[in-house]
Amino acid sequence: MPRHSAAKDLSLKWLELFQICAHKGSLRAASKETGLTISTVSHHLRNLEDHLGIELFNHARRPMVLTPKGQVFLRNIDDALYAIRKAKAEASAGTIAEASLLRVGTIEDFDSDIMPELAVFLSGHMPNCNFVYQTDSSHTIIDMLGSRNLDLGITTTPNERARDLQERPLLRDPFVVVLPLGCERPVSDIVEGRSDLPFLKFSSNLIIARQIDSQLRRLGWSSLSSFECSNNQTLMAMVASGAGWTITTPLLFSRAKRFSSHLRIHRFPGKSFSRTLALVATPDCSRSVLELVDGKMRALISDYAIAPQVQSNPWLTESFRLIN
């Protein structure tokens, strides 16, 4: 192709749009993420290719496919853009008190006690800041961080590391079995399907449900379920009524205070397994804000979740803990 734009300065906008298109594989997806028109995105990509004098994409293919030179360019650009964004955030952060906007996403596991306390704490330390709090599923929060619609999220650790997000593990949250109070059958009999008590499970579209199902398959256990629910409180209510049993975590169990006197939690029989909850942030989130949220979240999780559960169930001491 003819190259007439070599004298034009390399634009950071071109590089950012190239990165988004390369990862998304679509001009339309890049347009949706950035708010630019498809024609504008295409124009910026053409300018970048003209400037470099190479084809970065095979424009005859749909979805968009990188050329070999485009693949090499992407590997270098990912690292470079991450460094640029991090440097910009640190340079422009100022003090915590000067922060003007913070958008936080969290899974519902924290929304009863911990997030309200965090909100009050942050408003006191960041008096000039406008806050946006959102509760959603882990995968939605990760997607919103990737598209820069959130600054930080408190969520289940993603299975695949997002391209430029910072991840700080917070909590190891082991899976446990929850039975109705007074149930006398051995836990192993119930989990392995040797009882009449039905399995009440999380909805299969949730990450936690997939983790539980994978572990049961690995162990060769197939507990049939006639009840699925996305809400932990509803599951706890059903178990408390004697309608069945479930698998959850101590963090989620700690939210079921209304039903806890009718429930008992037990070690998962056989090989134990757990999930990790983490603080995940974009490179644009300043280090000082990240440190502030990280420190407060650890204190709140310890006070509201870990301490009460370990006191009631000392066997959780080693497995239900903060990650340093």
Which residues, including other chains, have CB under 8 Å from residue 67's CB and lie 6 or more apart?
Answer: 54, 55, 56, 57, 58
Query: Which burial class, exposed, middle or buried, applies to 153 when counting CB atoms under 10 A from its CB (0-12, 13-18, 19+)?
Result: buried
The CATH T-level fold of domain 12-92 is Arc Repressor Mutant, subunit A (1.10.10)
Angle 38-52/27-34 helices, nearest 10 degrees?
A: 110
How far is the C-alpha of 282 from the C-alpha of 85, rounded, in Å? 9
User: In this model, does residue 77 exceed pLDDT 60?
Assistant: yes
The CATH T-level fold of domain 96-172+275-322 is D-Maltodextrin-Binding Protein; domain 2 (3.40.190)
- Note the pLDDT of residue 223: 62
- Note the pLDDT of residue 192: 84
Mean pLDDT, residues 139-163 taken together:
82
pLDDT band of 161, cuts 50, 70, 90: low
User: In this model, does residue 3 exceed pLDDT 80?
Assistant: no
- Note the pLDDT of residue 88: 60
What are the boundaries of each domain within the chain?
A: 12-92, 96-172+275-322, 176-272
Mean pLDDT, residues 51-66 taken together:
85
Q: Using DSSP, how many helices (H) and how many strands (E) does the chain show?
A: 12, 13
Whole-structure pTM over 0.75, yes or no? no
Predicted confidence (pLDDT) per residue in 141-152, tens digit: 988 888 888 999
How far is the C-alpha of 51 from the C-alpha of 103, rounded, in Å? 36
- Note the pLDDT of residue 8: 63
Predicted confidence (pLDDT) per residue in 202-256, tens digit: 988 888 888 998 888 888 876 666 788 888 899 999 999 999 999 999 999 998 8
Find the largest Cα–Cα distance for the chain.
80
Domain 176-272 in CATH: superfamily? Periplasmic binding protein-like II (3.40.190.10)
Mean pLDDT, residues 137-165 taken together:
82
- Note the pLDDT of residue 306: 96
Domain 12-92 shares a fold with domain 96-172+275-322: no
Contact 14, 48 (CB under 8 A): yes
- Note the pLDDT of residue 305: 93
Predicted confidence (pLDDT) per residue in 251-292, tens digit: 999 988 889 899 999 999 978 899 999 999 988 788 888 999
